Amino acid sequence: MPEATRQGGCAIAVMAKAPRPGQVKTRLVPPLTADAAMALSASFLRDVTENIRLASQDAAISGYVAYAPAGAERLFDGLLAPGTGLILADATGDHPAGVRGFGRSLLNAATALFGRGHPAVCLLNADSPNLPTDLLRQAARALAADDDRVVLGPAEDGGYYLIGMKMPHAHLFEDIDWSTSRVAAQTGVRAAQLGLEMVELPAWYDVDEPSALRRLAADLTEAGRRAMESGRWRCYPAPATAACLARLGMLDPPPARKPALSTGTAPALPQRSP
């Protein structure tokens, strides 16, 4: 068990399926092949867990992957940042009637992590490999303050990339229209019904559609990173994802001894093999 777990601190767990062809990043197939989508999913996992590990250098954080299905632990071997724990978070078990679908996995993950002694838990998506590290620190620090509260990181599509809590409130996951643009708003209503303060982080984007993948490729160029850093947030450079996109022909590797240049236009997605 990681040192931070024995000492307490906020658990940040990435909600992730085991990387198998045809089971992950399916909305990117086509234009990607199933094998390319699996490789991209694996690179996202590496970057997201490395991002959590980076955040833990400045805040009391322990990193996990909350995975499914049961028995798939070995598929994560060598894919995660050192020190990342694994915890099963499938949809099995007894739940309140209104907790359905993905909400069951989220509630199972939160309950299991609180059961390990963490005073706070954040559940993070696996689709934002370049999420600014400081947003993870902010979430952990907000949950370290006194009194019960919820932290929400809204996604640009109306969902959320992060939800943090100090107790496993099942009501936060009840009667939510998962995979719609109403998720974040409905979650805010559930928090209000519980009388909980809502700390809202800045919005970020998920990469689960071809247009978002092109956006990510543009943001991971040298010019894209400079543009991001000129704003409020410094995004995580996501080196594993950048390398994967380069192999897929979506991102040119930087030339030796000089910075890469970009026109700001994302390369076309590779075509699926016949």
| pLDDT tens profile 178-210 | 999 999 999 999 999 999 999 999 999 999 999
Task: List average pLDDT for each run of 10 residues in the chain, which is 274 residues long.
Answer: 53 94 94 95 98 96 95 95 96 92 97 96 98 97 96 98 98 97 98 98 96 94 72 85 95 52 34 35
**pLDDT number for residue 234:** 85
As a whole-number percent, the residues of the chain with pLDDT over 70 amount to 86
**pLDDT number for residue 212:** 96
Domain(s) labelled CATH 3.90.550.10 in the chain stretch across 3-200
The radius of gyration computed from the CA coordinates of the chain, to the nearest angstrom, equals 18
Round the average pLDDT of the chain to a whole number and report it.
88
Q: Whose CA is closest to 128, among 53, 260, 35, 236?
A: 236
Distance from C-alpha of 11 to C-alpha of 111, rounded to nearest angstrom: 11
3-200 homologous superfamily: Spore Coat Polysaccharide Biosynthesis Protein SpsA; Chain A (3.90.550.10)
Residue 9 CA: distances (Å) to CA of 63, 78, 116, 139:
10, 25, 11, 12
**pLDDT number for residue 230:** 64
* Phi, psi (degrees; rounded to nearest 5) at 83: 85, 0
Cβ atoms < 10 Å from Cβ of 58 = 13
Cβ atoms 129, 241 nearer than 8 A: yes
**pLDDT number for residue 4:** 38
Cβ atoms 176, 198 nearer than 8 A: no
| pLDDT tens profile 214-251 | 999 999 987 677 766 766 678 999 999 999 999 999 98
Instruction: Look up the pTM and report it.
Output: 0.88
